[in-house]
A and B are shown apart, each in its own frame.
Chain A
Amino acid sequence: MTIRIPEGHVARIEAHAAATYPEECIGALGGTADGDSRSIVEVWPLVNACIESRHSRSLIAPRDYQAVEREYTRRGLLLLGFYHSHPDHPAAPSSFDLEHALPWHSYLIVRVDRGHPTEMTAWVLREDRSTFDPEPMAVVQDGRAPTARGGDR
């Protein structure tokens, strides 16, 4: 399964991650799925609902989750997944990420070093919940072929 994301949306996620540094950012990804390909058509930045440890934790409030899912459903989009940042830490899923993940969703992680986004990867929870598998990511540039990025570490 490859997830396609327009480069403008990559820039939007990176801007969100930089703006919230040194705290984590979090947001939703809306789009379409067709066979082995998924396409992100919308990025929805959300408020990190964590009260403490926001430099190493992010959370989407259940009410926000419901609002996003309802809105995407209304517009015929799928809630494909979520993104969050890892300030000054590799863009790899943590055990905390594993405990809180759902299957099928795409999880994008942005590494932010000293305020600057440096890496973005995509992951999918394995069906038996044992680990994440990297998900190939293709950044779609205007008028050009997708460029492979991340997810194949």
Chain B
Amino acid sequence: MKTQVNIPTALRQYAGKQESVTVEGGTVQEVLDELTARHEGLRRHLFNEKGDLRSFVNVYVNDSDIRYQEGPRTPVKEGDVVSIVPAIAGGRPHDPRARS
């Protein structure tokens, strides 16, 4: 079952500079496993040391965030589009004296 995976700009260097990659898999986990097997450099930036998706990595199947579905077990059908979307965040160290 072939699925298109959209790669964010910063990670395209690890995926042959492609905006999207077509891989096979019946769930999001299988799709990402196949993706990172083919493009090993992506793994470090998508998954933490425990093998879980990094907290700032959002994955959508079509327009739905997998966190609100079945997480990595979310099924993927032929023709679905999986998008990796980073949550860009910044911040200084918390200061308990700072205004809130």
Contacts and interface: CB of A to CB of B under 8 A. Distances in A.
How big is chain B's contact interface, by range? 20 to 34
Question: Among B9, B11, B44, B100, which residue has the most Cβ atoms of chain A within 10 A?
Answer: B9
Given A102-B45, A104-B10, A96 B90 contact: yes
Contacts, number: 105
A102 B85 contact: no
A105 interface: yes
Contact of B90 (A24, A66, A78): A24
Contacts of A99: 55-56
Given A105-B10, A129-B45, A84 B86 contact: no
B95 interface: yes
Interface string A47-82: 000101101111111100110010001000011001
A104 B8 CA distance: 11
A56 B91 contact: yes
The 4 closest A-B pairs by CB, nearest first: A84-B90, A89-B92, A102-B10, A60-B88
B91 A97 contact: yes
Interface of B: 8-11, 13, 19, 44-45, 55-56, 58, 60, 65, 83, 85-95, 98-100
B93 A103 contact: no
Interface string A19-41: 00010101000000000000000
A37 B87 CA distance: 26
Contacts of B92: 24, 56, 86-87, 89-90, 94, 96
A138 interface: no
A55 B90 contact: no
A104 B13 contact: yes
Nearest to B11: A102
B90 A100 contact: yes
